[in-house]
Amino acid sequence: MDTFRKLKSYYLPYKKYFYLSTVFLIFVTAITLIYPVILQITIDEVVRKGKYQYIPYLSIGFVLIMAVKGIMTYIQQYCGDLFGISAVYRLRNALYKKLQYLPFRFYDNAKTGDLMSRLTADVEGIRFFLSYGIAELIRFLLLVGTSIAIMLYYSVPLTAVTVLSLPFLLVAVRKFDRAVHPAFRAVRKSFGRLNTKVQENISGIHTVKALSKEDFEIERFDEFNTDFREKNIFNANIWAKYFPLMEFIGNLSVVLLLSYGGLMVINGRLQPGELVAFYSLVGFLIFPIMNLGFIINMFSQAKASGERLLEILEEPEDIREKPDAVRNVRFRGEVEFRGVTMKYTGDNQEAVEDISFHVRPGQIIGLIGPTGSGKTTITQLLARFYEPQKGEVLIDGRNIKDYSLYTLRSQIGYVPQESFLFSSTIKANIAYGRPDATMEEIIEAAKRAQAHDFIMELPDGYDTVLGERGLGLSGGQKQRIAIARAICMNPSILILDDATSAVDMETEFAIQKALREVMKGRTTFIIAHRISSLKHADEILVLENGRIVERGTHEFLLQNGGLYRRIYDIQYRDQAAVLQTQTE
């Protein structure tokens, strides 16, 4: 029950629905247990004594009782569903909120399909148990307890004989519980992996088709699907093995009842109507105990689901802001790194090591170096997507940890290497970081990003609804909308992480020309592999293996003859070769 205790803050606020459901469940159970008593009275007091004139009244009374039971059952089930639905509504919101605030470190290893499985199938597992499973457990306790009490009233010896097999039934139920819980957890995990595979395949369908890997993907999916099938078959085998055993043990009680009860009727120690009532009560006793396996089934699913959900809810939020964090200040744009070292989780080598530099407000800083040298890591540390293990990052002379996350990130315009666009209008995508932007400001941002012309050529212009991840636009068009989104924020600090890598040379030149106007008065970091994208920077930092190995202006670094010069020679030698080929 530890899992459900940890989740209590999500269902306790709706306990009134649970209490109402329980009250009506008690009434429904009480009415259910009247049936055997009515049968006993009908046989012993009416039929055997020839009082047939009471049969119509008993029939009418029975119909009225069934009508009342139907109404109460409706209210009980409705309140139970309200309890479960309301609780998982709160739980799903909490999970989604948690996912928004979890750090990049969590998403470095998380699988999208698995997370989707947790927010759908696992949440539904909890809902089903809250709405139905708990009610069934209470019904079980009420039926078993009250049935035994009524049976004892009719005959203590017959009750003792009838319940002889029940301890064996409880042992079987307990073993079933121990076997089925790990099986269900394995099913949930396998389903998460299957979901992840489907999500990855759909997201990368263009790559699959371009490389003619359809058959390979089908085989890979079959592996995951086979694993999911085998986990379900193993689970079904447990159910198939234990349920007949529980049914057999339960039916032994019926055999003992009919054998010993029949003798008691023959000897005049029990009335026939009481034996019939006893038979009905044994059904109310045995079938709930057999149904206990189904309840345990639901409980095991809910427990396995709850454990997976708690893994998210209890995941530590490494990036936290202070209670007295600075808010509502406008950055001047002064940036300083002091001996910053950072290593990603699971990596043996530092991503950046002992990084130190100072940037004055309005300066343009270029970052260049081989893949994996730490360029993007530096900008992610500036936006506090990760925390350094050593050193500190400062903006305007203050550690970035002193600022609220909103104050920090709302003033950093970030254009990543892979631009992500939402399934919404182009207008909404550009204004995503600043929803209060006017249409004039949105258009101005698009013009500066060289996006306005192609947007106006679309059927609905700025009201064009994009497909998933910007489907329908070219890579360059998506990148320009992402740049427009960053410009629209009017940031104090602008980060361009290889922002023009997806556009052609002519468009890159036009964007860079427009960005020079945008960069005026803003501290700008430009990550690029093309030297042409950053040679105008006030200072260029050359990185290798997580360290700054060179720094200076374009002209200084060319004369220095180091790594920057080698990169320059390689790029311009290739360009010269291309031009010579075109000339020939």
pLDDT tens for 411-432 read: 888 888 777 788 888 899 899 8
Of 584 and 42, which is predicted with more confidence? 42
The pLDDT, as a whole number, for residue 584 is 45
- Cα separation, 25 vs 41, in Å, equals 25
Q: How confident is the model at residue 575 (pLDDT cuts 50, 70, 90)?
A: low
Q: Which of 2-11, 70-79, 353-362 has the lowest mean pLDDT?
A: 2-11
* Mean pLDDT for the stretch of residues 508-528: 77
Question: Rounded distance, CA 197 to CA 195, Å?
Answer: 5
What's the predicted TM-score (pTM) here? 0.75
Per-residue pLDDT, 157: 86
Q: What pLDDT sits at residue 256?
A: 80
Query: How far is the C-alpha of 234 from the C-alpha of 532, rounded, in Å?
Result: 61
> How far apart (Å, rounded) are the C-alpha atoms in residues 21 and 387?
49
Is pLDDT above 90 for 475? Answer: no
- Position 530 scores a pLDDT of 79
Tokens of 259: 């054998």
Phi then psi for 33, rounded to 5 degrees? -75, -10
Cβ atoms of residues 523 and 334 within 8 Å: yes
Cα–Cα dist 561/539, whole Å? 16
Confidence at residue 391, expressed as pLDDT on a 0 to 100 scale: 93
Confidence of residue 579 (pLDDT cuts 50, 70, 90): very low
More confident residue, 227 or 50: 227
Select from 184, 154, 208, 203 the least CA-distant residue to 40.
154
Q: What is the mean pLDDT of residues 526-550?
A: 88
Residue 582 scores a pLDDT above 60: no
CATH 1.20.1560.10 residue ranges for the chain: 2-313
Sorting pLDDT into bands at 50, 70 and 90, what band is 580? very low
Closest to 252 in 3D by CA, of 383, 164, 172: 164
Question: What's residue 510's pLDDT?
Answer: 65
pLDDT band at 41 (very low <50, low <70, confident <90, very high): confident
State how beta strands 398-399 and 390-395 pair: antiparallel
**What pLDDT is recorded for position 54?**
77
Instruction: Dump pLDDT digits (tens) for 224-256.
Output: 889 889 888 988 888 888 878 877 877 787 788
pLDDT confidence band for 200 (50 / 70 / 90): confident
- Whether 208 contacts 201, CB under 8 Å: yes
- In angstroms, the Cα distances linking 113 to 105, 116, 227, 282, 304 are 18, 5, 16, 47, 17
Rounded to the nearest 5 percent, the helix, strand and coil shares of the chain are: 65, 10, 20
| pLDDT at res. 390 | 92
On whether the 331-411+494-499+525-584 domain is CATH 1.20.1090.10, my answer is no
Share of the chain above pLDDT 90, in %: 19
The tokens 């400062």 sit on which residue? 394
Return the pLDDT at 206.
Answer: 60
**142-156, 353-367, 486-500, range with greatest mean pLDDT:** 353-367
Instruction: Report pLDDT digits (tens) over 341-379.
Output: 998 877 778 889 999 999 999 999 999 988 888 888 999
pLDDT at 16: 93
Share of the chain above pLDDT 70, in %: 93
Q: Which residue has the higher pLDDT, 130 or 181?
A: 130
CA–CA separation, 307 and 128 (whole Å): 16
Q: Where in the chain is the domain with CATH 3.40.50.300?
A: 331-411+494-499+525-584
* Residue 47 binned pLDDT confidence (cut-offs 50, 70, 90): confident
When pLDDT is cut at 50, 70 and 90, the band that residue 133 belongs to is confident
**Rounded to an integer, what distance in angstroms lies between the CA atom of residue 313 and that of residue 91?**
10
pLDDT at 154: 82
List Cβ<8 Å contacts ≥24 apart for 498-504: 498/417, 498/527, 498/528, 498/529, 499/415, 499/417, 499/526, 500/528, 500/530, 500/533, 501/417, 501/528, 501/529, 501/530, 502/419, 502/475, 502/476, 502/478, 503/475, 503/476, 503/479, 504/476
Residue in this structure with the two tokens 């994009």, named with its chain if needed = 466
211 or 343, higher pLDDT: 343
Nearest to 179 by CA among 242, 231, 88: 242
Mean predicted confidence (pLDDT) in 546-565: 89
**Region 2-313: CATH code:** 1.20.1560.10
